[in-house]
Homo-oligomer: A and B are copies of this chain.
Amino acid sequence: MPRPRIFDEDRVLQDVMKAFWRKGYLATSAEDLVKASGLGRSSLYNTFSSKAALFERSLDCYLTCTRQVAKTLSDTEASPEAAIREVFISALEPEVPERLGCLVTNTAIELAGQNERIAKMLQRHFDLLRQAFTEAIKRGQRNGEFNAELDPTGSAELLLTLLQGIRVQSKSATDSLILERTIDQALRLLH
């Protein structure tokens, strides 16, 4: 019998997530969130309690979304090398004019050091990504694309770390040429 909501919670989380993604947690004001979501202040606070809680749910949204993308690494159809390259190329985000980077990387730097809950979320995410890389590498070794001598887990961690490093450098890079060559180097490591 209550008055029904006129907005979709997931749609709001998506929009709010993009706002946090663009400017970071601190630099995004409640006013920004109101504008990004299209809701009134009351509705936002009624459904999400606080800016901090809203951010956590946005981050969670981003994490699951990113994991979906990382599923291509475990996809048994595609070539592991192509899948890995795809993940790295998307980090350069050549289509986006603003340098958004990655919400995971951004959050690790901005909040993980001081917020244990956030740190835990990110750590779990890194674990999952590392696992996905590991599987892709093992698959590549089985079908002969990659060097069978390599330690899959160690190489996966190397890729994961390189990915984060690319995310950092792409924030200040004017051209992505050097980073593209880094991706080539990283993939050559696996052969």
Contacts and interface: CB of A to CB of B under 8 A. Distances in A.
Contacts of A24: 26, 110
A158 interface: yes
Interface string A152-170: 0011011011111111110
A106 to B, nearest CB: 5
Contacts of A122: 172
- Counting chain A residues whose Cβ lies within 8 A of the other chain, the interface size class is 35 or more
A83 interface: no
B168 A168 contact: yes
B172 A119 contact: yes
A137 to B, nearest CB: 13
A112 interface: yes
A99 B123 CA distance: 14
Given A113-B100, A164-B164, A189-B189, A182 B157 contact: yes
A185 interface: yes
